[in-house]
Structure 1
Amino acid sequence: MEIQDIKAFLDSKATQYNRPDFIKNDPISIPHLFTKKQDIEIMGFWAAVLAWGQRVTIINKCKELISLMDGAPYDFIMNHEEPDLKKLLKFKHRTFNDIDTLYFIAFFRYHYQRHNTLEDAFIPANGGYSPFRGLGGFRDYFFSLPDYPHRTKKHISSPSQKSTCKRLNMFLRWMVRKDDCGVDFGIWNKISPSELIMPCDLHVDRVARKLKLITRKQTDWQTAVELTERLREFDPNDPVKYDFALFGLGIEEKF
């Protein structure tokens, strides 16, 4: 397939999958349950972190977590008392357990006592956002509370670990991308859609390689950057819109 044909093909597939029908079977349906910005951020982040395994299981576990927080995550996080946390001790999804859950709540309370939006957690203190600095700085900040549980670190990746940072990049796509299609939220303004990196999961990686958009043999942070740079040739302002196309082709069409 010629490069212009690949662009036309992916443009059509992005349009096909970037629509509200996509939401109900995807973890992005979780933050769509809310209208309050902080609830969208909190449950968007949690849904992205828990996004491994079958999508129906991910969605059900996120709904269980919401129920344990009385249907109002931000209010629960900011106003709970110690006994309120006991019911969360039974929450578990794969390797994510009660220790991780309680630390996430502690971090969110700490952050929202100081900031109005989670976007600030991804912006370096001296400005100059870049994906590498933003995601790496976020992980450092996330684990800056005293006595953080070491086991929880495996749930938050960083480019310095050579990870693709698929879950964080997916969360950023949800919060940052702006269009009128009704899927991504576009509620953040300090990070530009042009600065996003592709969420490079198994399906996206496979389809991208089949289309010869990736040449790097291994799948790591540099692979995600390479793929994003190729897609930026198709749309420099919004390269990550092609996540809809590559993911849709991979999981819905088994391309």
Structure 2
Amino acid sequence: MLTKKTADRLVYLADKYETKDFLTKDPSQFMHRYTDPAEMEIAAFLAANMAFGRRDQILSHTEAVLQAAGTDLLKWVQNNGYRKFFTKGDSSYYRMYTHNDFLLFFDTVCTFIKESDTIGNHFKKIYTHPDNKGNYLTPLICNLFPENCHLIPHSKGTAAKRINMFLRWMVRDNSPVDLGLWKDWYSKKNLLIPLDTHVMQEAATLRLFQLSKNGNVPSASFKTDVQLTNLMETVFPGDPCRADYALFGFGVDKDSDS
């Protein structure tokens, strides 16, 4: 049950943690290096899809790719420069993801850019197609990638945390962290909270979810994500994904108190 006390605490935590300092140790820092929106999108999409595991490893492996790209990230993608970096086939580049996974990822991104000039333009075409009216953007994006590109989630009902985090970066405006590049064609009301097991545990601690009959925290899924996001809409009207900062902050504050 969401009490007024909990709602007030979530607003306080969002105010506390949605600051420029948040960028220091977060993968969102990379997109702020660029001034060209097309390059911001590429850097953000790469960083978001690598955002799991130890934070220092996320940052170092993302940094290595962007350093290899040099000063013109867009041209590096357009000219298949990534094929000179990811050369080791089935060998791991980052955790369970191989060089081939990253080649498939960048090949697909390169196709988006060749067809539509930017990632954002391509996703806008897909989203605004009459057949997709009323759908969430997240599963539409996942379906654009081949199933053997393991960097992108394809299982039915997935929470797709990293895609939702990327969309938060692209859509939310008036933020020191999120860029708001796509605010004119995708509403932040339609964003889903980036949800994983850790966020579910924090939400359960705040009693935003009921535990199962066995006392277990529900699993992170598309269904539970929609439930949590709809609940957070009552705390952050029109901007439910702002709760992502609050839930992050709750975990940090809780850990520092323990």
Structural mapping, 1:213-232, within 5 Å? 213-215=208-210, 217-232=218-233
CA–CA distance in structure 1, aligned partners of residues 94 and 103 of structure 2: 14
How far apart, CA to CA, are the structure 2 residues paired with 1:129 and 1:73?
33
Q: What is the distance in 2 between the residues matched to 1:129 and 1:238?
A: 18
Report the Cα distance in structure 1 between the residues aligned to 2:9 and 2:21, rounded to whole angstroms: 20
Query: Per the alignment, in what secondary structure is the counterpart of residue 151 of structure 1?
Result: coil
Q: Deviations over 1:56-83 (max 9, x none)?
A: 11011101001122243211011346xx
Distance across 2 between alignment mates of 1:224 and 1:235:
16
Q: Which residue of 2 is the match for residue 151 of structure 1?
A: 148
Q: Which amino acid aligns with 1:128?
A: K
CA distance in 1, matches of 2:17, 2:204: 20
Deviations along 1:149-188, one digit per CA (max 9) or x if unpaired, are x532x32125x61211111100000000011x31110010
1: CA distance between counterparts of 2:57 and 2:157?
Answer: 28
Q: CA deviation at 1:46?
A: 0.9
Would the alpha carbon gap of residues 63 and 2 (structure 1) be closer, same or farther in structure 2, given more than 3 Å must change?
Answer: closer
Which AA in structure 2 matches 1:55?
R
User: Which residue does the alignment assign to 1:58?
Assistant: 58
- What is the match of residue 129 of structure 2? 125
Unaligned stretches of 5+ in structure 1?
144-149
Alignment partner, residue 84 of structure 2: 86
1:142 to 130, 145, 149: 145
CA distance in structure 2 between the aligned counterparts of 1:80 and 1:162, rounded to whole angstroms: 33
Structure 1 distance, partners of 2:209, 2:223, is 10
Q: Distance in 2 between matches of 1:116 and 1:110?
A: 9
TM-score w.r.t. structure 1 length? 0.87
Residues 164 and 200, structure 1, Cα contact 8 Å, conserved in 2: yes
2:178 matches 1:184? yes
**What do residues 201-221 of structure 1 show as CA deviations (whole Å, max 9, x unaligned)?**
233211111111123633211
The structure 1 segments of at least 4 consecutive aligned residues displaced by more than 6 Å after TM superposition are: none
TM-score normalised by length of structure 2: 0.86
Aligned residues: 242
Q: Which residue of 2 aligns with 1:147?
A: none
Deviation at 1:130?
A: 2.5
| 2:31 match | 31
Q: Give the match's secondary structure for 1:92.
A: strand
CA 1:205–1:37: 2 relative to 1, 3 Å: same
Contact 1:203 1:251 in 2 (8 A): no
Q: Which AA in structure 2 matches 1:157?
A: P
Amino acid in structure 2 at the alignment position of 1:223: T
Q: Give the residue type in structure 2 aligned to 1:221.
A: F
Cα distance in 1 for partners of 2:134, 2:63 equals 33
Identity %: 28
- Tell me, what secondary structure is at the counterpart of 1:53? coil
Residue in structure 2 matched with residue 146 of structure 1 by the alignment: none
Separation of aligned partners in 1, 2:44 and 2:254: 26
CA gap 1:2/1:237 in 2 versus in 1, 3 angstroms? closer
Partner AA of 2:30 in structure 1: I
- Residue of structure 2 equivalent to 1:48: 48
Partner residue of 1:97? 98
C-alpha distance in 1 between matches for 2:14 and 2:139: 29
Amino acid at match of 1:219: A
CA distance in 1, matches of 2:98, 2:209: 35
| Equivalent AA in structure 2 for residue 49 of structure 1 | N
State the distance in 1 between where 2:103 and 2:253 align.
Answer: 35
